[in-house]
Amino acid sequence: MTAAEGPLVVGVDSSTQSTKALVVDVATGAVVARGQAPHVVTAEHDSDPEVWWSALRAALDQCGEAVGRAGAVAVAGQQHGLVTLDAAGSPVRNALLWNDTRSAPQRDRLLDELGGPEAWAQRVGSVPAASFTVTKWAWLREHEPAAAEATHAVRLPHDYLTGRLTGGTVRGGTTDRGDASGSGWWSTATGRYDEEILAHVGLDPALLPRVVPAGEAAGTVTGGLPLPAGVPVAAGTGDNMAGALGLGLAPGSPVLSLGTSGTVYAVSRRRPADPSGTVAGFADAGDAFLPLACTLNCTLAVDRFATLLGLEREAVEAGGQAVVLPFLDGERTPDLPYASGLVHGLRHDTTPGQLLQAAYDGAVFALLKALDLVLDEGADPAEPILLIGGGARGTAWRETVRRLSGRPVRVPVAEELVALGAAAQAAGLLLGRDPAAVARDWDTARGPAFDAVPRDEAALERLATTLGDADALLRRH
């Protein structure tokens, strides 16, 4: 850790598996203290929000005395999760997380009942996947009506933690346009909640939080915390929007994030509305948009293949004709919520290392297919892909992206970009500046660069053909 030159801020990343907190020097972007505490996630992909709060407090405590000198704080959180609170602000049940696809039947019904995919894309900016919050609320009303009836407030994960910091869990709850745009009931076209959709799924708009404009505080820190009481709390945002802030992302620069989920996104000035559902037309944390494609199966799925094969995750081999579609948890891109993993093209001479490489190829393939849809027309094809997330440090992941994309790659050295983006948002609030510009001043996107290599057209063709031929099988319930 380094000595601070300027005021301090705290950025929080509440992810699927843990909460991280960074204390950051506003003048330099240097991290002067950090903390982390784990979450508990059930096999059904849900989690107790009280655990997130305990993890946040533990992470702040680990930051030591520096956290007591912070001038502002912001929380970024996993997108799409459904948090239901009772009249006292306590969770009615565990939160349904983004990677819970049990609401796929409700998603299908909502699409049919409200005009189909194109109507949804034009209306809210995205064709809802089974990960979207609106589908989870529809599932809850159908399968757990007593829990829905007991709900006095509906929040996204970052909203819940921001509310705990400010004392506004039920009354005075807040969110931001970036995270709200992943709910399925907030419109990027109007900048408001869609009351017809809310009425259709039986959700009173009064149960939803106020959308805080960019640059405005959500409230101030209440007492009894390691943070100083009374310091401003920024609006916070979703994890992908915070990642974009953490990189200081400008339009035209693509990001590929390799974590529990895989994502590819870019900042855009045009409002996206993709009726195919491949690209989610999110808002960003400012006044622009963040078109994004997401897969449910990324690093964990490939690690599972490595375990099944008895290999270390880097033990890949070139060659062979095998194709792996690692859709172990259903899939969002492509939109196959009922799918399972598929292996095709095995021969007597197929090696375990080749099969593992095929799993990497399958995980990266769908994200790269969406790249052109995410970027604005006229974006420079020579612009490096910024490779982030836990997988970005892996040679096999990096080389797979290079080989299948044919583009240069840069791996930013900055770690914990979501928490760093939240810190940039807190710094922007403190200074009255654009948070992305603050992050660019911190030079957060610097890192080693890797030149483009010829694209592996044969592998791409095998993947595309197998995916097309297996469509009926992958859609079977």
In angstroms, rounded to a whole number, what is the distance separating the alpha carbons of residues 77 and 87?
A: 23
Structure-token pair, residue 227 = 């943070």
Query: Are residues 49 and 83 in contact, defined by beta-carbon separation less than 8 angstroms?
Result: yes
DSSP for 390-451?
GGGG-HHHHHHHHHHH-S-EE------HHHHHHHHHHHHHHHTS-HHHHHHHTTTT---EE-
Residue whose C-alpha is closest to residue 210's, from 153, 165, 288: 153
Q: What are the phi and psi torsion angles at 147 (to 5°)?
A: -65, -40
349 is catalytic: no
Evaluated on CA atoms 417, 246, 71, 223, the torsion sign reads negative
Half-sphere exposure of residue 361: CA atoms within 13 angstroms, side-chain side: 31
The angle at the Cα of 338, spanning 334 to 342, to the nearest 5 degrees, equals 70
Rg (C-alpha) for the chain, rounded Å, is 21
Structure-token pair, residue 244 = 């974009």
Structure-token pair, residue 245 = 């802030």
- In three-state secondary structure terms, 98 is coil
Please list the alpha-helical segments (H only) found in 125-238.
Answer: 133-143, 145-149, 157-166, 177-180, 195-200
Give the active site residue among 159, 239, 329, 361. Answer: 239
Give strand ranges (E) for 41-108.
Answer: 46-47, 70-77, 83-85, 95-96
The residues that are catalytic are 239
